[in-house]
Amino acid sequence: MGMNVNKDRIAEVLGQLVSIPSVNPGFPGGMGEEGVADYVSRFFQRLGLERIEQQVEPGRRNVIGILPGSGPGALLLEAHMDTVQTEGMTIDPFGADIRDGRLYGRGACDTKASLASMLVAIETLATRGIVPPVSVHLAAVVDEEITYKGVTAVADEIAAGRLRYDAAIVGEPTRLDIIVAHKGCVRFHIDAVGIACHSSTPHLGANAIEGMLEAIDYLKREAELHYPKAAHPLVGSPTHCVSMIQGGIAPNTVPESCRIMIDRRTVPGEEPMEVWRNMKERVEPLQSSVPGVRYVVREPFLIDYAMEVKVDEPIVGCLQRSRDERADGRRIIGATYGSDASKLVRVGVPAVVFGPGNLEQAHTKDEWVDLDEVATASNIIVQTILTYK
């Protein structure tokens, strides 16, 4: 079975991480990741390991700790430090309480459990004086929950040749499954533009809300017709969701505008901007049955990429062998959500998504993670580091 990490140390490190608030500043009340960045920086400092600090934005930095290896290769471990907001939680979000083998708190599952498993794996090797066959970089990054600025800063360094990795493991709650493909995303607004008038004489105006209902119905029919044809064997079909709608200014005014937000999930092989252009070309020429209503598809405000790595990539087999020694019945799968891994794959680094915890617990009102599973993940990462060549 190889080397084992200390389970009490896992609980200690995870508890310390959860007790440091790191809500993404893009969310209400978000204080940012700087407290966790300080913790990670001091963690490597105490181990006597070199670290790289990347200033991503004022008060927001990535911390990359380096465990030197005996060979020329390099393996990247990556996990994000930010969490979603804490509104509506039924537990102390930063209490890090332990009950029945579970540690509770915001970020416990998504994804401080992964970060703790990686930190303790590095610490276990470093304190025992073990030199792995490849160098290992652990990147704790900002801003995964909103716009991926942290991993993008790492990817930019890779693209520029200043950092080089043979493979990456991206920490997310996968229940120790190995994710080799996941969906991407393109988000944008569609506006229906009408003509305002008094609601007592609606025939003099053009009701943008009624016009938008037609566009929504059209998009639904298009999805039913085209999305199944683009299904991917691991992640399924593309999808779209009308995730927000706004329109109207007063009870007695025919609305001249209505806006919807589209969240379109892409599959490997689809390019987000092509998907957007295709929807624009279909929606804008639509002739509404509401005379005077026209449609405008706005530029995307967020793009993320789908990703896929081949199952015969060395990192997949190495991680799978290490995982199968420690955890039975886990799989190699695809995911419908996105992760930092896609940005690494785009710059040529084979990246898989792996970590402790169940995604169903992420962002919940009583978020928790099973501590035994976090320890198992850490043991798997240790074994992967020692056997990766």
Together in a domain, 89 and 51:
yes
Whole-angstrom distance, CA of residue 66 vs CA of residue 44: 8
Asked if 263 contacts 278 with a C-beta cutoff of 8 angstroms, the reply is no
C-alpha span between 318 and 170 (Å, rounded): 15
Per-residue pLDDT for the chain (389 aa), expressed as one digit of tens each?
568 999 999 999 999 999 999 999 999 999 999 999 999 999 999 999 999 999 999 999 999 999 999 999 999 999 999 999 999 999 999 999 999 999 999 999 999 999 999 999 999 999 999 999 999 999 999 999 999 999 999 999 999 999 999 999 999 999 999 999 999 999 999 999 999 999 999 999 999 999 999 999 999 999 999 999 999 999 999 999 999 999 999 999 999 999 999 999 999 999 999 999 999 999 999 999 999 999 999 999 999 999 999 999 999 999 999 999 999 899 999 999 999 999 999 999 999 999 999 999 999 999 999 999 999 999 999 999 999 98
Cα–Cα distance, 53 to 28 (Å, whole number): 26
Question: 97 lies in a domain?
Answer: yes
> Do residues 343 and 170 lie in contact, with contact meaning Cβ atoms separated by under 8 Å?
no
Q: With respect to residue 233, please indicate whether it lies within any of the assigned structural domains.
A: yes
Q: In whole angstroms, what is the distance from residue 111 CA to residue 344 CA? A: 18
Instruction: Please indicate, yes or no, whether residues 220 and 167 belong to a single structural domain of this protein.
Output: no
Neighbours of 251 (CB within 10 A): 6
**Which of 250, 285, 304 is where one domain is finished?**
304
The enclosing domain of 93 has a CATH number of 3.40.630.10
Whole-number Cα distances in Å, 295 to 214, 319, 368:
11, 49, 44
Q: DSSP label at 59?
A: T
- 8 A C-beta contact, residue 321 and residue 387: yes
How far apart are alpha carbons 197 and 205 in whole angstroms? Answer: 5
- Do the domain assignments include residue 2? no
Verify that 277 and 360 share a domain, yes or no. no
Angle formed by the axes of helices 371-387 and 314-326, nearest 10°: 130
Specify whether 166 is located in the same domain as 315: yes
Residues 135 and 36 in one domain: yes
Task: Note whether residue 77 is domain-resident.
Answer: yes
145 with 25, same domain: the answer is yes
In a domain? residue 372: yes
My answer on whether 243 and 253 are in the same domain is yes
Same-domain status, 224 and 165: no
Which residue bears the tokens 């329109």?
A: 247
Contacts of 161 (CB under 8 A, 6+ apart): none
Same domain, 128 and 190: no
Of 247, 272, 304, the domain-final residue: 304
CB of 102 closer than 8 Å to CB of 42: no
Does 137 reside within a domain?
yes
Residue 266, H or E segment: strand 257-266
Return all residues near 364 (Cβ < 8 A) that are at least 6 apart. 109
Domain CATH code at residue 222: 3.30.70.360
Domain region containing 19:
7-182+306-387
The answer to whether residue 216 sits within a structural domain is: yes
Domain boundary among 304, 329, 359: 304
Residue 245, amino acid: I
Same domain, 294 and 315: no
| Cross-strand bridge partners of residue 211 | none
166 and 239 belong to one structural domain: no
Question: What is the C-alpha separation between 52 and 269, in angstroms, rounded?
Answer: 34
The two tokens of residue 365 are 């009102």
One domain for residues 144 and 190: no
Measure the CA–CA gap between 192 and 295, rounded to whole angstroms. Answer: 5
The answer to whether 327 and 380 have CB atoms below 8 angstroms apart is yes
pTM here is 0.94
Tell me whether residue 1 is in a domain: no
User: In total, how many domains does the chain have?
Assistant: 2
